[in-house]
Amino acid sequence: MINQRLRRLRLARGYSLEKLASEMGGIVTKQAISKYEKGTSKPSPSVLNKLSEVFKIKSSYLWAEPAISVKFIAYRKKSSLPKKEMERIENYVEQKLEERIRLQDLLQQKMEACLPVQDYSIKKIDDVEQAAINLRNNWSIGLDPIANVIDLLETHLIHIIDVNTSGNFDGLTALGYEEGKLKAAAIALGSRVSGERQRFNLTHELGHIVLDIPCDIDEEKAAYRFGLAFLAPESQILKEVGAKRSFITLQELLFLKSRFGLSIQALLYRLKDLGVINNSYYKNWCIEINKRNWKKNEPAEMKPEKPVWLRQNILRAISEGIVTQEEANSMIDEEINIKKPQSLKEKQSFIKLPLEERHRILTKQAEKIAEVYDQDSDIENFQGGDIVDY
């Protein structure tokens, strides 16, 4: 099993065989690593330990058979994305989804309701509108604008994975199964996009997950329509804008952008799709957008939303002693340092110190705490505020 694990870890890091050999300090050649990955040779204990050190994992992980099988169901990209980069992204997503499902299991988190994978069948493109409403009803979120798309998806164990890559990558969707049972899903997105584009990309990928699209319908167009319908339901758009418009101002479009979290371009396309504006007026706006160079950078650009599930649950797992800090750092790709309460042994050691040394340590700690109080305006406001009687 080490051959599959090793290859996936290497590709997920974007390492070539030569690069991995270099990271290991040259204790093995790239030819030897190739043999490990092909399964024609096995690493010695010392090589295994070095691999574990480089990848920041336990050596036992390399020998364990994967419990999770990952299925990719959508891949949006521009054709210029190199094959090697596609391979790296797929392996990275597969690795991260497996880690998050393991964390779910350790914390005993389960899908409250099974994610409706390809449950919404459509016969024509307009059926997508009702599919979006059905999913909203399924998730009990009503028809109002969605304040935070990432929070909604993470609540339903659809993990959001930021992929550090070129601007040519839009999205990748994966499903994680264990013994045929769906455990979680993942949507991977390029990290360098505006908030409004990010929100649409997420709901576009959600469309790929939930829609059952026949061969005679363009899958991308259906997912595109779903993303818009999910973020801006027809009834809400018509209530805000009206059924027919021959003119719409930039100020109104900017208001709708902030309300629904969609770009001006996406909103105009939505209005055209719903027949609120005609094709001619839509094309005039497209020309105007090009003239103003708003194709990539619109006015009133929104900040991207941030995933929180992983960090929140990593911190919980560390606090409860479920994972070590080293394991946590590997999962989250950053250093997390949590100072745990002193043990009885540490407290006894402190008491045995000379009085002068204890005084020095306590004084230093008090100075650090004082700095926090001096710099934190919230604490100052809290201490200086009025007393309210209830």
Indicate if 179 and 131 belong to the same structural domain. yes
Domain that holds residue 222: 104-291
For the chain, where are the alpha helices, taking DSSP H only? Answer: 2-13, 17-23, 30-38, 45-55, 59-63, 83-106, 127-138, 149-155, 195-210, 219-231, 234-241, 250-260, 264-273, 279-291, 309-319, 325-332, 344-351, 355-375, 377-384
Indicate if 237 and 348 belong to the same structural domain. no
Indicate if 138 and 246 belong to the same structural domain. yes
Closest CA to 225 of 260, 273, 263: 273
Indicate if 7 and 142 belong to the same structural domain. no
Name 76's bridge partners.
171
Is residue 268 one of the residues assigned to a domain? yes
Indicate if 277 and 351 belong to the same structural domain. no
Question: Tokens at residue 148, please?
Answer: 């935070």
**Within a 10 A sphere around the Cβ of 68, how many other Cβ atoms?**
18
Closest CA to 102 of 338, 315, 329, 322: 322
Any residues with CB less than 8 A from the CB of 169 and at least 6 apart, and which? 77, 78, 81, 85, 89, 163, 190
**Within a 10 A sphere around the Cβ of 274, how many other Cβ atoms?**
17
Chunk the chain into consecutive blocks of 10 residues (it has 390) and report each block's average pLDDT, rounded to whole numbers.
85 90 92 91 89 83 82 66 84 91 89 80 96 96 96 94 78 90 90 89 95 93 96 97 96 97 97 97 96 92 94 90 82 70 67 79 74 52 40
Is residue 328 one of the residues assigned to a domain? no
Is residue 53 one of the residues assigned to a domain? yes
The crossing angle, in degrees rounded to 10, of helices 264-273 and 234-241 is 100
Is residue 22 one of the residues assigned to a domain? yes
Indicate if 144 and 210 belong to the same structural domain. yes
Indicate if 14 and 134 belong to the same structural domain. no
Indicate if 345 and 284 belong to the same structural domain. no
Indicate if 138 and 277 belong to the same structural domain. yes
**Within a 10 A sphere around the Cβ of 185, how many other Cβ atoms?**
23
Amino acid, res. 350: F
Closest CA to 127 of 227, 224, 222: 222
Report how far residue 123's alpha carbon sits from residue 125's, in angstroms, rounded to the nearest whole number.
Answer: 7
Predicted confidence at residue 347, as pLDDT, reads: 65
Of 291, 309, 325, the residue that ends a domain is 291
Indicate if 55 and 111 belong to the same structural domain. no
Predicted confidence at residue 112, as pLDDT, reads: 59
The total number of structural domains that make up the chain:
3
Indicate if 136 and 229 belong to the same structural domain. yes
Is residue 335 one of the residues assigned to a domain? no
